[in-house]
């Protein structure tokens, strides 16, 4: 019986999201942007000011500014979270810049 080798799959990098709002930074990770948005430990009532969401993956970075109403809608509803995640993913793919270290 021939021996078989197990080929290790390269570890897939996750999306990292950083929300800069209320004078604080909140971080979350997920295998896609929707999962990362769902991992924020933040309720929509806790958002009091406008903020910026930074999307980072594979040395590529994209920042998007949101007003207060947009951030609350993003964190309040699962359906809207899917829409915002799709929008962020398309913007990240098309407009992201390479990070220099």
Determine contact, residues 53/87, Cβ cutoff 8 Å: no
Task: Give a yes or no: residue 77 inside a domain.
Answer: yes
Determine contact, residues 96/62, Cβ cutoff 8 Å: yes
Dist. CA 25–CA 89, nearest whole Å = 20
pTM of the model as a whole: 0.80
Question: Which residues span the domain enclosing 62?
Answer: 15-98
Dist. CA 35–CA 85, nearest whole Å = 9
One digit per residue, the tens of pLDDT, for the chain of length 101 reads 566 666 565 566 689 999 999 889 999 999 999 999 999 888 889 999 999 999 999 889 999 999 999 999 999 988 999 999 999 999 999 988 887 75
pLDDT at 100: 73
- What DSSP designation does 9 have? P
Domains in the chain, number: 1
β strands within 1-101, DSSP E:
15-21, 24-30, 51-57, 60-66, 97-98
Task: Give a yes or no: residue 48 inside a domain.
Answer: yes
Task: Give a yes or no: residue 71 inside a domain.
Answer: yes
């Amino acid at each position: 019986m021939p021996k078989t080798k197990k080929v290790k799959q390269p570890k897939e990098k996750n999306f990292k999201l950083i929300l800069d709002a209320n004078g604080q930074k909140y971080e979350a990770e997920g295998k896609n942007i929707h999962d990362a948005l769902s991992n924020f430990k933040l309720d929509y009532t806790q958002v009091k000011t406008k903020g910026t969401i930074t999307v980072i993956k594979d040395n590529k970075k994209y920042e998007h500014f949101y007003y207060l109403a947009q951030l609350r809608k993003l964190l309040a509803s699962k359906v809207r979270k899917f829409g915002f995640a799709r929008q962020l993913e398309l913007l990240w793919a098309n407009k992201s810049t390479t990070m220099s270290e």
